[in-house]
Structure 1
Amino acid sequence: MAQPDEPHAPVVPSCPLPSKICDVVRSERPRSCCGMAMAGFRTAKYQLPEWHRRNAGVCYQAFLAGEQAERGRAEAKSLVKHAAASAQRAQEYSKATLGQRLQDVHFWRMELQKEIMELDAETNLLAAQKLRLERALDATEVPYAVVVDNLECRERRQPPDLAADEVERQLMKEADLIRDIRDLLKRTIIQAATQIRSNRIQKENCELDWSDKVETYHIDDKCVGYCSDSTNVQFHPSSVKFEENASTPKSWAQFSHDNISRAEQEKLASVQLRSLINSIIHDASEDLRMQRAAVSEAFDTHCRELDGAKLRLEQHLQQILKDIGDEEANIVNLKKAIRDKEAYLKVAHTRLYDRSFRPNVELCRDEPQFRLVNEVEELTVFLEALKRKLMESEQNLKNLEETRMKLEKEIAVKANSIFIDREKCMGNRVRYPVDLEVASYKQ
């Protein structure tokens, strides 16, 4: 930078300088030497000393004015250089400050952008888990309908098979388990929806902050590009003030930090909820699988018991049918025996009747008469025994027929129970989902 020129030495005027400019006294008039005739020529004229003094004063004033102007020019030139240097330094410092500010804004902008992307990805993952919950909830409708249908079908069993057996107990337990799982899934779906809403609200807050940071970055970046030669700069005197609602650097950074912190908290809560959803679906699937196996085992055991009971009843029925045939043959034999004995009795009665007509002394109690009477008595005893036995056999046949009817009814009841449990209930349970956890992934 050029050094300011040294001030020139003062130039001494050639005319003598009066001690004071005000020494010229205008009130003194030149004295008249020619009398009254020359008065008109003398009144407006100065004396020669006055003229010299006045010239000297004018020169001195010119000298002082020039010297003062020269000092002013030197000071102005120095001030211009100092102002230019100061303005350049101030502009460079402001530019550096704006550059640092751009780095700060860029840092928080990138942090917010990263948080927004992570929170959006986490929200999408949680939404997928919520969809899994909804699919799992839909998948429980079929098992619940199957269980209810099983219970309703088993109500159509006939006594005495209409009993509160192990199968019914396991079915009731399964129905209660499915209801509890459905309630848990519904509550978890509501919790997931609430968390998704919280994630999106916090994501929106971060997006608003990020948008402000982007706009601020563009503004400050444009400000960094301004210089003295820019054509789009102008005076804005009203902007040279602090806004009342302006933040401080500390509160500005704290605002973004709080947004990121809250986003991290929501993201952590979302991650924990996703883990909980995985556990809920897995545990519910395992519980349903184990209960389904318990119900199937109870059905298998009960059907085997029914098959065994039905087989034993059928064996008894076969024996009863054989006994009925034997008893019917026995009754036929007894009736034939009674008819045969009655024929013998008729012969004995006829002999006794005819011998009762023997005349006079010929009506004798001889040995044939005693034999015929004994024969009648023996035949009467046998006939009474045979008739009693016939009545007993007929009662036995009636009892056997009643037993046959009971056995056939019991067999029909067992067959009905087997049909309900094996064909209706177990056949309907084929629609039961294999795995609730797998069903939650299906489209």
Structure 2
Amino acid sequence: MAEAGDLLAEQPAPQALPSTARPMKMTLSTGPDSSGGLGAVGFRTAKYQPHEWHCNNSALYQEAFAGCEQAECSRAEAKELAELTTAAAQRAQQHATAALVQRMQDIHLWKVKLQKEIEELSAETSLLAAQKRRLERALDTIEIPYAIATDNLMCRERRQHPDLVSDEVERELLKELELIRNIQELLKRTLMQAGNQMRINQDHKEICEMDWSDKVETYSIDEKCERYSNQSTNIQFHPVTVKFEESASTPETWAKFSHDNLYRAEQEKLASINLRALIDNILHDISEDLRRQCAAVNEAFAKRCEELDEAKRKLEHYLNKTLKEIGHQETTIAALKQAIKDKEAPMKVAQTRLYDRSFRPNVELCRDEAQFRLISEVEELTESIASLKKKLLESEQSLWNLEDTRMNLEKEIAVKTNSIFIDKQKCMAHRSRYPTVSKLAGYR
């Protein structure tokens, strides 16, 4: 370019070419001497004029100079544009890589939160399952007190009159049965609630797992994208991907989706924790209530057995007295009969004397002192015998009454013995197999 400038400087300034000079149009002679010589003087020939030659060269020089200059500017601009676009592409790639890294960090953060929530929800569900098993064991264990209370009531129906009484023991047993039925209903409702909560926990765990799985896959994709470089061999053009999907989420909706999943899972986890605490309280309360009612029934049984023992002792005491009195009364009756029998001989003597003296002749049949004494003797003997017979009847009636009393006492003692056997040997012995507090609370 410098040589071209020097050459142009040595040439005279180019004159503007006439309109007929570019391109040159040649006017040919039509005469016989048109090929040269004097015949061509004054006519335009096919040859250029010197000044035209210089002008043409100048024009070519100028055109070449301008083209070179324009090309140089274009080269400079192209180089600058290439450098700018290269730098812009590098910056864009760096920004995109940084955005991918930041996005991976966000995804990893949510992934860690989701994984933690999944583990906690899984652990909480396992704990709730353990509580549910406690409820099931407690419900099975409560069948034992129910069977015991029912058996006690059925056994006590075999008591004999008059011991077949609606006493304190029966009232406490009925209260125990009612308490057990209420507890069974409560445990069944709580079991259903625990099962529903476990299903809800599992549903939210699956939702979090799906979200976590999507984020793991997305993290893997973004990690793969972050590793791409200009030197990668597995890159290619995908023009159709340069657009936003209509179903694509925004960063706000993306974050809200995971946040809502975590929030709902956390709420259900708290509900599960509260339900476990409620189950603990329920099992503790029902075990205490059942053992308290069991103690009340046992105490009522003990008092009733003491009453029965005391009544039996008193009945046996009066039976012994009655038996002794029967023996005495039999002795008395025998003595009365002997006394009556002993009066027969004096009566015979006195009546025989009166009979024999009734044969005294004539005036000898006198109402003398002997006669009066004999008649008085007979009357006294008759009155004594009548008194003895009356007393004998009274004694015999008393003996009969004592025999009835003895029979009633023996029967009542047998009734009391039967009642004591039922309450002590049957009911209280059966109640010794009453479950412990730990078993009633659902523990093994």
1:29 alignment partner, one of 23, 27, 31:
27
Task: Give the structure 1 partner of residue 351 of structure 2.
Answer: 349
Hey, what's the Cα distance between the residues in 2 that align with 1:222 and 1:25?
Answer: 65
Q: Are the equivalent residues in 2 in contact too, given 1:306–1:418 (CA < 8 A)? A: yes
Higher mean C-alpha deviation, range 130-139 or range 57-66: 57-66
Aligned-residue identity in percent: 59
Task: Within 5 Å, give how 1:161-310 maps onto structure 2.
Answer: 161-310=163-312
Q: Which amino acid in 1 is paired with 2:16?
A: S
Q: Residue 427 and residue 363 in structure 1: after superposition, are their counterparts in 2 closer, same or farther (change >3 A)?
A: same
Q: Are the equivalent residues in 2 in contact too, given 1:24–1:53 (CA < 8 A)? A: no
Q: Are the equivalent residues in 1 in contact too, given 2:286–2:440 (CA < 8 A)? A: no
Q: For residues 330-382 of structure 1, what are the alpha-carbon distances to aligned partners after superposition, in whole Å with 9 as ceiling and x for unaligned?
A: 11111111111123222322333333334444444444333322221111111
Q: Cα offset for 1:124?
A: 1.0
Q: Which amino acid in 2 is paired with 1:281?
A: L
1:313 alignment partner, one of 292, 312, 315:
315
Task: Give the structure 1 partner of residue 100 of structure 2.
Answer: 98
Q: For residues 35-68 of structure 1, what are the alpha-carbon distances to aligned partners after superposition, in whole Å with 9 as ceiling and x for unaligned?
A: 3798xx9999444556665565555544544443
TM-score, length-scaled by structure 1: 0.90
Q: Residue 242 and residue 44 in structure 1: after superposition, are their counterparts in 2 closer, same or farther (change >3 A)?
A: farther
Q: For residues 161-205 of structure 1, what are the alpha-carbon distances to aligned partners after superposition, in whole Å with 9 as ceiling and x for unaligned?
A: 222211112112222222222222122112212221221111111
Task: Within 5 Å, give how 1:44-193 maps onto structure 2.
Answer: 45-48=46-49, 57=59, 60-193=62-195
Q: Cα offset for 1:430?
A: 1.0
Task: Give the structure 1 partner of residue 443 of structure 2.
Answer: 441
Q: Are the equivalent residues in 1 in contact too, given 2:4–2:61 (CA < 8 A)? A: no
Q: Residue 156 and residue 76 in structure 1: after superposition, are their counterparts in 2 closer, same or farther (change >3 A)?
A: same
Q: Cα offset for 1:229?
A: 0.8
Task: Give the structure 1 partner of residue 390 of structure 2.
Answer: 388
Q: Are the equivalent residues in 1 in contact too, given 2:283–2:440 (CA < 8 A)? A: no
Q: Which amino acid in 1 is paired with 2:251?
A: P
Hey, what's the Cα distance between the residues in 1 that align with 2:173 and 2:102?
Answer: 72
2:333 alignment partner, one of 331, 345, 352:
331
Q: Are the equivalent residues in 2 in contact too, given 1:206–1:260 (CA < 8 A)? A: yes
Q: Are the equivalent residues in 2 in contact too, given 1:133–1:281 (CA < 8 A)? A: yes
Q: Are the equivalent residues in 2 in contact too, given 1:328–1:397 (CA < 8 A)? A: yes
Matched pairs, number? 435
Q: Residue 184 and residue 25 in structure 1: after superposition, are their counterparts in 2 closer, same or farther (change >3 A)?
A: closer
Task: Give the structure 2 partner of residue 3 of structure 1.
Answer: none
Q: Are the equivalent residues in 2 in contact too, given 1:282–1:437 (CA < 8 A)? A: no
Q: For residues 73-111 of structure 1, what are the alpha-carbon distances to aligned partners after superposition, in whole Å with 9 as ceiling and x for unaligned?
A: 332222222221111111111101111111111111101
Q: Are the equivalent residues in 1 in contact too, given 2:142–2:440 (CA < 8 A)? A: no
Hey, what's the Cα distance between the residues in 1 that align with 2:34 and 2:296?
Answer: 159
Q: Cα offset for 1:146?
A: 0.8
Q: Which amino acid in 2 is paired with 1:31?
A: S
1:415 alignment partner, one of 408, 414, 417:
417
Q: Residue 44 and residue 115 in structure 1: after superposition, are their counterparts in 2 closer, same or farther (change >3 A)?
A: farther
**Is the counterpart of residue 424 in structure 1 residue 426 in structure 2?**
yes
Hey, what's the Cα distance between the residues in 2 that align with 1:252 and 1:28?
Answer: 81
Q: Cα offset for 1:8?
A: 6.5
C-alpha RMSD over aligned residues: 2.6
Q: Are the equivalent residues in 2 in contact too, given 1:139–1:436 (CA < 8 A)? A: no
Q: Residue 44 and residue 198 in structure 1: after superposition, are their counterparts in 2 closer, same or farther (change >3 A)?
A: farther
Q: Are the equivalent residues in 1 in contact too, given 2:128–2:276 (CA < 8 A)? A: yes
Q: Residue 21 and residue 75 in structure 1: after superposition, are their counterparts in 2 closer, same or farther (change >3 A)?
A: farther
Q: Are the equivalent residues in 2 in contact too, given 1:314–1:407 (CA < 8 A)? A: yes
Hey, what's the Cα distance between the residues in 1 that align with 2:391 and 2:252?
Answer: 119
Q: Are the equivalent residues in 2 in contact too, given 1:133–1:185 (CA < 8 A)? A: yes
Task: Give the structure 1 partner of residue 16 of structure 2.
Answer: 19
Q: Residue 373 and residue 55 in structure 1: after superposition, are their counterparts in 2 closer, same or farther (change >3 A)?
A: same
Higher mean C-alpha deviation, range 236-245 or range 79-88: 79-88
Which ranges in structure 2 are unaligned for 5 or more consecutive residues? none
Q: Residue 397 and residue 44 in structure 1: after superposition, are their counterparts in 2 closer, same or farther (change >3 A)?
A: farther
TM-score, length-scaled by structure 2: 0.90
